[in-house]
Amino acid sequence: MDIGIVGLPKSGKTTIFNAVTRGRAQVSAHTGPQAKPNMGVAKVADERLGFIGGIFKPKRQVPAEVTYVDIPTTPEGLGETRGISGEFLNELQRTDALMITVRAFEDPSVPHQGDGVDPFRDAETMLYELAFADLEILTRRLGRLSDQSKGAKPAEREAQNKEEALLERLKVDLESGVAVRDQGLDVDEARLLEGFQLLTAKPAIIVVNTGEAQLSDAQSLETRLAAEFPGPRVGSTVLCGKLEMELAQMSESEEMEFRESLEIGESGLERMIKLSQDVLDLITFFTGNANEVRAWNIPRGTSAVEAAGKIHTDIQRGFIRAEVVGFDDLAECGSVSEARRRGVLRQEGKTYLVDESDVVNILFNV
């Protein structure tokens, strides 16, 4: 799961990146054509993994991971309805979801571009930028389809006409402010668009970066965010990026002590992981043996053979069947052999849809 972090200049997106990855990236001047993305991996804490490890007693336990990519701010144009292009666009297209960081903190030493600090205005601006990037992609593709149709054979022209009608519809709705993810695409339409990697088709998380003085207003800010940016594939939250970054550099015990004294609850890392899983509609399944117990994140509705491919392409290719037991059943039984004896360890085929908390053993032959 790759999450791209974007934001206007001085929004504190690299600070948020450090907070959710426990990273130490330079927080100033992450801009310009020479800047490279910051990349960090966050481990997904999951008590179930440790419990399963207690059953298999493996050499290692591997949690699920989330990769965050902090995209540099383009030197000019971002926030001025010029869209996103070049390598910055390519980086964003490779991600599974977007985290849009907007600024609510006041700091005279960090001047805000434009007319003062307004996180809701900045969120709208960034959403428009993503839409403009998509409109540019659709416009270019429609131009190519028009050129190709002149010498196309009847069968080719029929497919081109179908694609053209879809892209025109998307374009009209985008120009009316409707993101592609909210346009009700069917399975065939979504499959046709996969290669385009449109930014507004991706799930989005809006993060309002506040100062410590605004923490008491976090709940009201989150309520307004949910109202102004609704949707099943849009999440939102409020974080004090600077404080979360400082806490993320502490040891776990020190961090917990400070959080209790400040009464600020779960970490920004934990909150972002939950939001990321929610907007992407991911579930977690587990694999285990004497060598390794591992947690895997997959989209809800993934079949057993597709889940096997997440582990290794050879396992998917040689898939025979899956042995599956729910985590709760395994916890009650205390061992795989007891789960088999009680009949709660099931044999499932390729089309079985893996469920949340399933513990899976894939039998394969290559």
Q: Which tens digits make up the pLDDT trace of 221-277?
A: 999 999 999 888 999 999 998 998 988 888 888 888 888 887 777 787 788 888 888
pLDDT band at 293 (very low <50, low <70, confident <90, very high): very high
The H or E element spanning position 83 is none
Number of H helices, E strands in the chain: 14, 12
Separation between Cα atoms, residue 277 and residue 133, nearest integer Å: 25
Separation between Cα atoms, residue 19 and residue 239, nearest integer Å: 9
Separation between Cα atoms, residue 112 and residue 122, nearest integer Å: 11
Q: Count Cβ neighbours within 10 Å for each residue of 170-206 and write b for 16 or more, e otherwise.
A: bbebbeeeebbbbbebeeebeebbeebbbbbbbbbbb
- Tell me the CATH number of domain 131-197, given options 1.10.150, 2.30.30, 3.40.50, 1.10.357: 1.10.150
Separation between Cα atoms, residue 79 and residue 77, nearest integer Å: 6
Kindly tell me if the per-residue pLDDT of 196 is higher than 60: yes
Kindly tell me if the per-residue pLDDT of 77 is higher than 70: no
For domain 301-364, the CATH architecture is Roll (3.10)
- Model pLDDT, residue 23: 84
**Percent residues over pLDDT 90 in the chain:** 56
Contact 257, 329 (CB under 8 A): no
Q: What is the mean pLDDT of residues 9-18?
A: 90
What pTM, to 2 d.p., does this model score? 0.87
User: Would you list the domain boundaries of the chain?
Assistant: 2-46+65-126+201-280, 131-197, 301-364
pLDDT in tens, 117-145: 899 999 999 999 999 999 999 999 998 88
**CA trace torsion 214, 242, 6, 185 (10° rounding):** -60
pLDDT band at 33 (very low <50, low <70, confident <90, very high): low
The CATH class of the 2-46+65-126+201-280 domain is alpha beta
